[in-house]
Amino acid sequence: MWRIALKGILGRKARLVLTSLAVILGTAFLSGTAVFSATLNQTFDNLFSDVFRNVDSYVRSTQVIEADFGQQERQRIPVELVDTVKQVSGVADVQADIQAFARIIGKDGKPLGTEGNGPPTFGSVGQEFKGALWSISQGRFAAGPTEVVLDEASAKAGKFVLNDTVKVVAQSGSREFTLVGIASYGDVRSPGGATFALFDLATAQEFLAKPGFIDDILVSGDGSLSDTELAMAINQAIPGTYKTETLTGAQITKETQDEIGTALSFFGILLSVFSYIALGVGSFVIYNVFSISAAQRQRENALLRAIGASKKQVTRAMLIESVVVGLFGSTVGLIAGIGLSKALSALLKAASIDLPSGGLVVPRSAIINTIVIGLIVTVASAWLPARRAGKVPPLAAMRETAIEYVALSRRRTIFGLVLIALGVVSIVSVTNGASKTLLGFGILFFFSGTITLGPVIARPVALLLGKPAEKFRGVTGTMARQNSARNPKRTSRTAAPVLIGVALVTAVAALAASISSQIDGVFTQQFKGDYAINTTARGFGGLSPSLADDINVMPQVQRATGIGRLTVKIDDKGQFLTTINPATVEGVFDIGLISGSYADLTTETIFVSEKYANNHDTKLGDIIQVTFADAQVKTLKIAGIYTYDEIAGKYTVSRDLIKDSSVISFDLGVFIKLKPGVSNESARSELQAAVDKYGQGTLLSKREYIDSQSGSINQLLGLIYGLLFLSVIIAVVGIIITLLLSVFERQREIGLLRAVGMTKSQVRTTVRWESVITSLIGAVVGIVLGVGLGWVIVYALRDQGLSSFSVPIGSTVSILMMSFIIGVLAAVYPAWRATRVNLLAAITTA
C-alpha cells in the first residue's frame, strides 16, 4: 500500500502542492512566531548581559510598590550613599545612576520617538566610569547644568551635531542644553529604540528627579573580592535605615532579563494564540482538500477495492498520503516561518526599533513543535476523508463518477441543533446567575453547532445570497448560484474558515465599539471644558504639573486643571490615586461630588468613590492610611464622596499631597475652560504656543479629545486585526484550492459551455461569483455569530464596568465589503484556469 500511496502522490504533484499549501501556511505562522519570540528574547538577554558586563554590584532601594498591570515603582535613594559605597574596601569605582523620563525635542519642535506606546524615552546620568554603560563616540560627557549628551540613534534621528542646542522635556519642565557629546550603548546606537539624554549627576538629579536623590548605584570592584563578597561588604557598610539592597552584577542582569522575558512572553503568547487560531482555520482547509480529493478519486479507489484491496488498505493509502503531505508541508512551513520571522524583524527595523544584531535563534522546540503539530493536524484532518474513501463500494468503479456524496443526514441536523441548544442554554443560564465559565462552553457549543449545521444551511443560504448575482449577471449568475449550492458540504467547509475569521473580527469590533461608546459617554459627562491637552504616555512620563498652572493664568482661560495619577500602597496593596488640583478642578472636570466640597480636599484629606464607600462601609471622617513610593506614610481623612469613578477610580487626592516628596508625579491630562466670549480660534493658537513651549502633549478640542480617548482602543484593535489577518489569508487560500479542484472536476461542463457559446469572460464571471457567494456565506454567518460572541464577551465584562453593548455597524459593512473583495481575488487564478480548459478534450472524452 505504501508504494501505491507514494506513486499516487508523485503522480499528482500539483495536488500535493495544493494540499500542502494549507499545511505550509499554518505551520509557517507557528514556526515564524516561535522563532521571532525566541530571537527577540535572545536579543534582549544579550543586550542586558552586555549592559551590566562590567558592573560588579548594584545598590538600590528595597521599597517597591507594585500596582495593577505589573507596574512597579521603586523608591529613590539619597545621593550621600554614593560616598558610603565608594569607601568600602574592594570598590574601585562607582556611578550614581538615574533612569527617568526625558524627551528630546527635535529641531522641528516635535519630540523624538513615539509617545506612549513606543519604546521609552529616558534621561540618565552619563559619566566616566569603569563599568560604564555608555561610551562616548564623539565629543565628551556632559559637565555642568547646560550640557547634554545624546545617544547615537537619537542624534542621528534628530540630525543633531555637536554644539547644537537641544531642548529636553522632563518632569520639572523643559530646558535647553548644548550638545557636547554623542554616546553609544554597548554595541548598539541606542538600546531597543529607546532615546537617551545624558547629564552630569547634579543636573540629572535636579532636572530629572529631585535634588539629593538617585535611583541606584553602579559599582565596579577592584578585583580583590568576588562579586558576592563585594555585595555583602557594601550591604554591611550601608546603615539599615536606608532600606537598600546590594545585588551582584549577575543578579541584576538575571533580574532584568527575567523582567523583559516576562513582558516578551506575554507578547509571545499573544502571537502564538493567533498562530494556533490560524492553524485551526487551516485544518478546515486541509480537511476540505482531502475530502474533495477523495471524492475525485472515488473511481480509482473503487477499482483498488474491486481488484482485492481491503477497506483498511484504501484508508491506509490515504493516511500515508496525509503523512507525506504533513511532513512535506510542515518542513516547508518551518523554513517559510524562519523567513517570516526575518520579515517581522525587518518590519521592526523599519519602525526604527534598532535591535542588536543577535542573529536568528531557531530553538529546537520550535522545530519539533512545528513538524509534530503540522503532522498531527494534517493526519487528523485527513482521518475522516480517508475512512470515507475506504467505504467506497467496488461497484463504483463501473459507474459514471458521482462526485461526492451530497445527501445530508438527519443525524447531522439533530446533532447540530442539539449543540446550538446546549450553547443557548449555557449562555442563558449564565445570565440567570450561573458561573461565568459556562459562557466559554456556551460559545464553543454554539460555534461547533453552527459548523456542524453548515452543510444543512449552506444550500439555502447560498441560493439566497446568490439571488442578486442571478438578477444582475443573467445565466452566468444562475450557474454561479447553483454551483455554490450544488455541493453544500464542500461549500460549507470552504466557507467555515471565512466564518471563523469573520466571527472573531466581528466580536473584537463589537467589543471595541462597546468600549468606545462607553468611553465617549463617560468623557462627555465628566469633561466640561473646551480644550484638553492629552498625553498618550501612561505610567512613564506625562505632562509636567506646571503646564496646567501656566495655562490657568492665561488671559483667555477661565480655568485649567491637571489630572494625574499616583501609585501608592493601601492595606499593603498597590493602588492608584487620582491627583487633582482642588483649586481649579470645579466646572472643568466633574467627578460628581455628592458630599463634601473641593475646598475640603487638603493635604490631610482624601475623596473616595461612592462605590468604594458602599463596599467598605465607610463614611465621611473615616481614616485611610496611604504609603507613598518614598515610604512616607500618611493618614488621610475621608472628606468627600463622588459618583463618577470611571476615570477617577476609587481614590482622589490633592496634588499638593506629594509636592515636597521625591515621589514622581505627572499629569495625564490638562483640561481647559475658556472665559466666556473668548473665540475658540484665537484661544487655540495661544494655547498651542503654550503647549509647544513645553514640548509635551497634544492640544485637542473637546470633541477631538473625546474622540481620541474613545479611539485609543483602535490601536489594540489594529494589532488584533493584524493577527487575525493570518487566518484570513488561510481562508482565502482555502477558497482558491477548493475552486481549483471544482474547476478541475467540472472540466467537461466548462468545455460544453464553451462549445455552445460561453465566452472566456463569462466563464470567469461564473467562477468569480461562485467564489463571492461562498465567501459571503462565511461572512454573513460569521457576522451573526461574531455579534453574538461580542455580546457574550461584553456581558462577561459587565463587572469590569462595561455596561452598554453596541453593534459595530461600520465594521460589519466593511467586513462584508472585504469578503466580497476576497471572493473576487480568490477567484482570479481558478477563473483563469477555467478558461484554459481544453475544449475538445472536455467534450470528446467519453
Partner 1 sequence: MNNPSDSAAARATNVSKIYGHDDSEVRALDNVSVEFEKGKFTAIMGPSGSGKSTLMHCMAGLDEMTFGSVTIDGIDVASLKDKDLTKLRRDKIGFVFQAFNLVPTLTADENIRLPLLLGNNKGNEEWIQKVINTVHLQDRLSHRPSELSGGQQQRVAVARALASEPAIIFADEPTGNLDSTTGNEILTFMRKAVDELEQTIVMVTHDPVSASYADRIVFLKDGKIAGELLEPTPELVLDYMKQLGH
Q: Which is nearer to partner 1, 77 or 753 (CB)?
A: 753
| Strand ranges, E, within 537-696 | 557-570, 573-580, 593-595, 605-609, 623-627, 633-642, 651-654, 667-674
* Shortest distance (Å) from residue 837 CB to partner 1: 13
- How many residues line the site for partner 1 (CB under 8 A)? 25
Binding mask 703-742 for partner 1 (x = CB under 8 A): ----------------------------------------
Q: Which is nearer to partner 1, 234 or 842 (CB)?
A: 842
Burial 460-496 (b: 16+ CB within 10 A, else e): ebbeebbeebbeebeebbbbbbebbbbbbbbbbbbbb
* Shortest distance (Å) from residue 646 CB to partner 1: 57
Q: Which is nearer to partner 1, 485 or 731 (CB)?
A: 485
> d(Cα 607, Cα 609) in Å, to the nearest integer?
7
Binding flag, residue 517, partner 1 (CB under 8 A): no
Binding mask 41-80 for partner 1 (x = CB under 8 A): ----------------------------------------
Run of H or E including 389? helix 364-390
* Shortest distance (Å) from residue 780 CB to partner 1: 22
Among 88, 179, 451, 479, binds partner 1 (CB under 8 A): 479
Q: Which of residues 486-515 bind partner 1 (CB under 8 A)?
A: 486
* Shortest distance (Å) from residue 843 CB to partner 1: 6
> d(Cα 116, Cα 101) in Å, to the nearest integer?
12
State the residue for C-alpha cell 480660534: 681
> d(Cα 165, Cα 147) in Å, to the nearest integer?
9
Binding flag, residue 483, partner 1 (CB under 8 A): yes
* Shortest distance (Å) from residue 734 CB to partner 1: 22
Run of H or E including 331? helix 311-350
Q: Which is nearer to partner 1, 310 or 844 (CB)?
A: 844
Run of H or E including 151? strand 147-151
* Shortest distance (Å) from residue 486 CB to partner 1: 6
C-alpha neighbours within 13 Å on the C-beta side of residue 671: 22
Binding flag, residue 376, partner 1 (CB under 8 A): no
Read off the DSSP letter of residue 109: S
Q: Is 357 helix (H, G, I), strand (E, B) or coil?
A: coil
* Shortest distance (Å) from residue 760 CB to partner 1: 7
* Shortest distance (Å) from residue 745 CB to partner 1: 12
Q: Which is nearer to partner 1, 254 or 748 (CB)?
A: 748
Binding flag, residue 625, partner 1 (CB under 8 A): no
Residue 484 C-alpha cell reads as 455554490
Q: Which is nearer to partner 1, 238 or 461 (CB)?
A: 461
Q: Which of residues 684-703 bind partner 1 (CB under 8 A)?
A: none
- Stretch touching partner 1 by CB under 8 A, among 233-241, 471-479, 570-578, 735-743: 471-479
Q: Which of residues 813-842 bind partner 1 (CB under 8 A)?
A: 839-840
Among 482, 558, 643, 688, binds partner 1 (CB under 8 A): 482
Distant-in-sequence, close-in-space partners of 214: CB < 8 Å, separation ≥ 6: 76, 77, 78, 79, 82, 96, 97, 98, 125, 201, 205
CB 497, CB 727: distance < 8 Å? yes
* Shortest distance (Å) from residue 811 CB to partner 1: 35
CB 780, CB 502: distance < 8 Å? no
Binding flag, residue 474, partner 1 (CB under 8 A): yes
* Shortest distance (Å) from residue 298 CB to partner 1: 17
Q: Which is nearer to partner 1, 609 or 765 (CB)?
A: 765
> d(Cα 350, Cα 391) in Å, to the nearest integer?
55
* Shortest distance (Å) from residue 271 CB to partner 1: 44
Among 114, 146, 251, 478, binds partner 1 (CB under 8 A): 478
* Shortest distance (Å) from residue 835 CB to partner 1: 9
Q: Which is nearer to partner 1, 555 or 757 (CB)?
A: 757
Torsions phi, psi for 167 (to 5 deg): -95, 130
End-to-end CA, the chain: 30
* Shortest distance (Å) from residue 454 CB to partner 1: 20
* Shortest distance (Å) from residue 395 CB to partner 1: 19
Binding mask 201-220 for partner 1 (x = CB under 8 A): --------------------
- Give the Å distances, CA to CA, from 49 to 44, 184, 355, 482: 8, 16, 14, 65
* Shortest distance (Å) from residue 762 CB to partner 1: 6
> d(Cα 230, Cα 670) in Å, to the nearest integer?
48
Run of H or E including 51? helix 13-51
**Which amino acid belongs to residue 796?**
A
* Shortest distance (Å) from residue 815 CB to partner 1: 29
Q: Which is nearer to partner 1, 62 or 761 (CB)?
A: 761
Q: Which is nearer to partner 1, 115 or 745 (CB)?
A: 745
Q: Is 473 helix (H, G, I), strand (E, B) or coil?
A: helix
Q: Which of residues 626-685 bind partner 1 (CB under 8 A)?
A: none
Binding flag, residue 475, partner 1 (CB under 8 A): yes
Q: Which is nearer to partner 1, 640 or 830 (CB)?
A: 830
CB 823, CB 542: distance < 8 Å? no
CB 493, CB 454: distance < 8 Å? yes
Q: Which is nearer to partner 1, 54 or 478 (CB)?
A: 478
Q: Which of residues 760-779 bind partner 1 (CB under 8 A)?
A: 760, 762
Q: Which is nearer to partner 1, 407 or 756 (CB)?
A: 756
- Stretch touching partner 1 by CB under 8 A, among 163-171, 474-482, 545-553, 595-603: 474-482
Q: Which is nearer to partner 1, 541 or 751 (CB)?
A: 751
Q: For the purposes of burial, counting CB atoms within 10 Å of the CB of 825, is it exposed (0-12), middle (13-18) or buried (19 or more)?
A: middle
CB 144, CB 152: distance < 8 Å? no
Binding flag, residue 323, partner 1 (CB under 8 A): no
List, as one string, the DSSP characters of 205-234. HHHHS-TTEESEEEEEE-SSS-HHHHHHHH
* Shortest distance (Å) from residue 748 CB to partner 1: 5
Q: Which is nearer to partner 1, 483 or 775 (CB)?
A: 483
Torsions phi, psi for 543 (to 5 deg): -100, 140
* Shortest distance (Å) from residue 842 CB to partner 1: 9
> d(Cα 147, Cα 124) in Å, to the nearest integer?
13
Q: Count CB neighbours of 4 within 10 A.
A: 17
Taking CB atoms within 8 Å and a gap of at least 24, the contacts of 759-766 are: 760/835, 762/476, 763/831, 763/834, 763/835, 764/827, 764/831, 764/832, 764/834, 764/835, 765/473, 765/476, 765/477, 765/480, 766/476, 766/479, 766/480, 766/483, 766/834
Beta bridge partner(s), residue 77: 214
Binding mask 740-759 for partner 1 (x = CB under 8 A): --------xx--xxxxxxxx
- Stretch touching partner 1 by CB under 8 A, among 264-272, 469-477, 603-611, 825-833: 469-477
Q: Which is nearer to partner 1, 206 or 749 (CB)?
A: 749
- Sign of CA pseudo-dihedral 699, 703, 705, 708: negative
Q: Which is nearer to partner 1, 407 or 846 (CB)?
A: 846
Q: Which is nearer to partner 1, 324 or 462 (CB)?
A: 462
Residues that bind partner 1 (CB under 8 A): 474-476, 478-479, 482-483, 486, 748-749, 752-760, 762, 839-840, 843-844, 846
